[in-house]
Amino acid sequence: MSGGTTAGPRSVALISGGSRGIGRAVALRLARDGHDVSFCYRGDERAAAELEKELDGLGVRALARRVDVSDAASVRAWVEETEADFGPVAVAVTSAGITRDKPLLMMADSDWHDVVDTNLDGVYHVCRAVVFPMMKRRAGSIVTVASVSGLYGNAGQTNYAASKAGIIAFSRSLAKEVGRRGIRVNAVAPGLIDTDMSAALGEQVRTQVADRTALGRTGLAPEVAEAAAFLASDRASYITGAVLPVDGGL
């Protein structure tokens, strides 16, 4: 944990999958909005340490923890540590996700379960851990990171698309459950974004997708972070159960 300034309490943001890609951009954006940031990562300790240092440079407190979001007990321990060290979680962003792209006929059972366990179960575990304290306080904002694959489907991504469609339905349903308790739940649905994950698709696929977008390019992680930060903030105080595509007009 790094220190940052301590002049008065700040709102606390909790981000899963925060060390790289969209999660990293969200962490930096929320820090600039004045949130202390607790984020988890699965394996890239160096990237996590670099982000922690950068957050410290922005004058906020940062907590980085290695957590497998598919494991409920690990998620609960991370959330409890965050609230013990920083205070109540006001904003939760579920960004942890993986791909195991293959046509269904070539997909191993482990490819299916790894993706669903991380992408969908991970959202359940984070939200399950934060929502009851938020309900007691009658305040909170949750932003889930889905995908346009969950809206439209994508060949070779039955596992990924199913997990992201599940996140969308989960978010809309949870919004209806907790809205009267002062909690908002929204989703962002990115298109093809320049991250380590999308780089694995290869330049030809990336170019094909860019050609199918109205803006004629792939997106940037900070552009998704802007949407997530808006939905998390009081600027979106009358928005809940929404799914905001950030896809360049795919």
- The pLDDT tens digits of the residues spanning 86-140 come to 999 999 999 999 999 999 999 999 999 999 999 999 999 999 999 999 999 999 9
pLDDT of residue 10: 81
Residue tagged active-site, from 41, 152, 160, 238:
160
DSSP assignment of 228-246: HHHHHSGGGTT--S-EEEE
* CA distances to 78, 82, 120, 190, 230 from 85, in Å: 11, 5, 27, 32, 26
What is the reported pLDDT for 208? 83
For the chain, residues with pLDDT lower than 70 are: 1-9, 198-202
Closest of 223, 115, 126, 240 to residue 187, by C-alpha: 240
Active site residue 160: yes
Three-class SS state of 14: strand
State phi, psi for 144 to the nearest 5 degrees: -100, 150
Amino acid at 38: S
The CA distances from residue 12 to 80, 193, 248, in Å, are 13, 26, 30
Rounded-to-integer distance, Cα 124 and Cα 130, Å:
10
Kindly list the domain boundaries of the chain, sorted by start residue.
Answer: 12-246
Asked if 127 contacts 174 with a C-beta cutoff of 8 angstroms, the reply is yes
pLDDT of residue 60: 97
**Which residues make up each annotated binding site?**
17-20, 160-164, 193
Q: Of 3.40.50.720, 1.25.10.10, 3.30.56.10, 3.40.190.290, which CATH number belongs to 12-246?
A: 3.40.50.720
Distances (CA, A) of 149 to 34, 65, 101, 162, 195: 32, 29, 12, 8, 16
d(CA 52, CA 60): 10
As annotated, the binding site for NADP(+) includes: 17-20, 160-164, 193
Q: What integer pLDDT is reported at residue 9 of this predicted model?
A: 61
Q: What's the rounded Cα separation, in Å, for the pair 228 and 246?
A: 10
Q: Tokens 């949870």 identify what position?
A: 174
Taking the CA atoms of the chain, what radius of gyration do you get in angstroms? 17
Mean pLDDT of the chain: 93
Please indicate, yes or no, whether the overall pTM of this predicted structure exceeds 0.85.
yes
Give the residues across from 235 on adjacent strands. Answer: none
Q: Which of 14, 18, 15 is nearest to 42 (CA)?
A: 18
The pLDDT score that the predictor gives to residue 198 is 66
